[in-house]
Amino acid sequence: MEHVVNAIVQGVLTGGLYAMFAIGLALIFGIMRLVNIAHGDLIVLAAYVALIVTQTLGLNPLLALVIVIPIMAIVGYGLQRGLFNRTIGTDVMPSLLVSFGLSVIIQNGLLILFSADNKRLQAGPLEVASVTLSDTISIGLLPLLQLVLAILVIIGLQFLLYRTAIGRAFRAVSDDPRIAQLMGLNNKHVFALAMALSCAIVALAGVLLAIRANFDPATGPTRLIFGFEAVIIGGLTSFWGTLAGGIILGVVQSVASSFDPGWQILAGHIAFLIVLAVRPNGLFGRVA
């Protein structure tokens, strides 16, 4: 019984990371109806950027965020202005296919630059630091940090969306891009800022992922899928729902893995499909 409780605790903490994968995805879908298939590959790209920064400057990965986050935000802004803005319209096909092509390009580009070897970010004592709660349950400081950061990101986003001018602009282009443009907003710029914000969150998620686990150029698609599952399980209505979705996914994976590691990811997928079958609007979504 104890080991199940432990698995649940660890799953909740991992859920914070999954929620962070999901939030960037949900944000740009909410603002411009864009589903970015390269989202997971951007997470991995951020991890490699962090790898270069930590190796060349000798920085701790968490400090390196000061450099990685702006770099990824600029990448996001550029991608939106250069690629995705040209695909936005009523038809989702162009944006899907363009982001799918981008995903393949990023994966193979990383493969050429860094080979298929596993990499990991070294974060020193933080990697193993933990708080012992009982004989079988101890909470790692790093996983705890993930969950706390996910909550802070959500609070920050809520503040940004509902209390600032740029948040108002995001909501305006989301509600009606044409009217927003008539009111003097430069939609292309607003969309690009949204993608920059999404990629900044991606940078945070990528660095946390890379401290926690090994990564290689092919790691991206699975992260996209985890984020997507968290969004759908959570119900597409609020970031808190997405966090709950991420936590549920994390718990299911962690509990399954405590019985048989081979079932970890598969159990998460199956849980997602069950939610889709039983409650297609997500566990916390309103019934349509």
Binding site residues, another protein, CB under 8 A: 29, 33-35, 37, 83, 86-87, 92-98, 100-102, 104-105, 108-109, 111-112, 221-222, 224-225, 228-229, 232, 262-263, 265-266, 269-270, 272-273, 276-277, 280
Q: How far is the CB of 162 from another protein (least distance, A)?
A: 25
State how far Cα 1 lies from the chain centre: 31
Amino acid at 203: A
Burial tier of 190 (Cβ tally within 10 Å: 0-12, 13-18, 19+):
buried
The residue (of 111 and 155) whose beta carbon lies closer to another protein is 111
Nearer to another protein, 113 or 166 (CB): 113
Q: How far is the CB of 173 from another protein (least distance, A)?
A: 18
Question: In 3D, which of 113, 67, 109 has the Cα closest to residue 206?
Answer: 67
Hey, is 218 helix, strand or coil? helix
Joined tokens for residue 210: 């890379």
Minimum Å gap between C-beta 75 and another protein is 16
Concatenated DSSP letters for 3-22?
A: HHHHHHHHHHHHHHHHHHHH
In the complex, what is the shortest distance from the CB of residue 61 to another protein, in angstroms, rounded to a whole number?
27
Q: Which is nearer to another protein, 1 or 93 (CB)?
A: 93
Shortest Å, Cβ 171 to another protein = 21
CB nearer another protein, residue 146 or residue 254:
254
Cβ closest to another protein, residue 7 vs residue 37:
37
Question: By C-beta, is 155 or 270 nearer to another protein?
Answer: 270
Residue 219 CB, nearest distance to another protein (Å)?
A: 13
The letter for the amino acid at 108 is N
Per-position b or e across 152-168, b if 16+ CB within 10 A of its CB: ebbeebeeebeeeeeee
Strand partners, 36: none
Q: Which is nearer to another protein, 166 or 274 (CB)?
A: 274
Q: CA distances (Å), 144 to each of 170, 187, 263, in order?
A: 31, 38, 24
In whole angstroms, how close is the CB of 227 to another protein at the nearest point? 9
- For residue 39, give every residue at least 6 positions away whose Cβ sits within 8 Å of its Cβ, in sequence order, or none: 21, 24, 25, 99, 198, 202, 223, 224, 227
